[in-house]
Amino acid sequence: MNVNTAIRKTVERLERTSSRRYPVPPTALISGPKLNFSAGDLDQPFWIASIDKVFIAALLGQLFDEGYCTPDTPIGRLLPAEELAPLPAKEGVDNAKDVTVQHLLSHTSGLPDVVLPPRGYSTTCSIKELQKHPERVWTIPDFLQQADHLPPFAKPGERFLYSDTAYLLLIRIIEEARDTGYAEQLASRIFEPSGMADSIEWVNADDYNLARLVPKLAPFWLGGSKEDDKVPFAPNLTWWNGMGGASTANDLLRFQRELHRGNLCDIKWVRYFGTPRSRFRPGIHYGTGMVSIRFGGFFPLMRGYPQPTGGLGYTSTHMFYYPQQDTHVILNYHAHRRMNTSFQMHIRIAGLINRYG
């Protein structure tokens, strides 16, 4: 099979991927020197979910560049004591002194996740509750307060646990550093330099602007409901509260290009963010701000495949960069229950990159 036939068959597969429950095909953008193809509307906004953790890392990289802090800085030097007070800690641990920026970035702070709480515990911001009440608008203090009754997971640096709590604290560090809101810093320090005009439209959008923007937003499903969640959830997608926001495939491509060219922060930090540290599950490893995929973890015969780094979101959103091939992969499958399907397609695309890219 030649490369053109392989691309055509992959695009046809993408365009056929829909179902009664999720009656919308995925969006895909693959861009590199040797492979370029796409499916879907590349300028349609969609919720990127936790892909925004890469934006957070990039803003931290800028603070590292300026000498404001380092990965080893204890968070008590960067945040008010009253904000750390609700956070649980193992016996003998002082979060202010013992938890560092690197612990937060690498999901090794020992702090529980308020969005995915430990078994036997609940929070009003858990995924289950967000599915029940997508219309509720959350603030970062609201989220962090939910940690006050949860048990600590481990001592700092001991174990990996994916933690939205940690990244909410990183956002607060970013805000305290410049006395400027997170959304405003995203706009001025990430979106504008990267040329992400469609993403900027969503920054702090009020009700009037949301009424204009939401009809263009791609549908997404937090759970298995028949109706999608985009309309009630939209006020949480304006980049200010740590729940991510709306962007487009083309905008994410623009961001990744600038990031990996070293134009948003020193390239040494980009490499630091992407270096794998902890296995999340076979094939998926977390670094210090980014996710990496090791395809050999899915299938032993894929051990020679390239290892991309980037971001992965709850609603099966992918943003990854293949450094050896200088190739970008952006995917949006619209629903958490499509995660396996999204990885099946990413594996197929990785095969094309490995063979032709």
- The tally of domains found in the chain comes to 2
Look at the chain and count its residues.
357
- 286-309 per-position pLDDT tens digit: 999 999 999 999 999 999 999 999
Look at residue 18 and tell me whether its pLDDT is greater than 90. Answer: no
Whichever domain contains 89, its CATH number is 3.40.710.10
Q: What is the DSSP letter of 313?
A: E
Question: pTM of the full predicted structure?
Answer: 0.96
End-to-end Cα separation, the chain, in angstroms: 15
Smallest CA-to-CA distance from 330 within 34, 7, 41, 100 is with 41
Q: Are residues 32 and 64 in the same domain?
A: no
Is 200 found in the same domain as 313? yes
Last residue within a domain, chosen from 185, 208, 224: 185
**Least-confidence region, from 134-138, 284-288, 338-342:** 134-138
Around Cβ 117, how many Cβ atoms within 10 Å? 22
CA distance 10 to 16: 10
CB 312 within 8 A of CB 318: yes
Whole-Å CA distances, 205 to 183, 192, 208, 239: 10, 16, 8, 9
What is the pLDDT at residue 288? 97
What are the pLDDT digits (tens) for 174-212?
Answer: 999 999 999 999 999 999 999 999 999 999 999 999 999
**Residues 196 and 303 reside in one and the same domain:** yes
Domain stop point among 134, 151, 185: 185
At 210-226, the pLDDT tens digits run 999 999 999 999 987 78
Give the pLDDT band of residue 19 (cuts 50, 70, 90): confident
Tokens of 252: 């994410």
Euclidean distance between CA atoms 336 and 353, whole angstroms: 25
- Please report which helix (H) or strand (E) contains residue 46, including its range: strand 46-47
Q: Domain boundary at 151, 185, 219, which?
A: 185
- Residues 84, 207, single domain; the answer is no
Clarify whether residues 227 and 345 are in a common domain.
yes
Of the candidates 58, 99, 96, 100, the residue with the CA atom closest to the CA atom of residue 80: 96
Do 342 and 211 lie in a common domain? yes
pLDDT at 357: 82
pLDDT in tens, 50-99: 999 999 999 999 999 999 999 999 999 999 999 999 899 999 999 999 99
CA distance 239 to 2: 42
User: How many whole angstroms separate alpha carbon 191 and alpha carbon 55?
Assistant: 9
Q: Are residues 157 and 252 in the same domain?
A: no
**Among candidate residues 175, 111, 191, the one with its CA nearest the CA of residue 139:** 175
Residue type, 313: G
Share of the chain above pLDDT 70, in %: 100
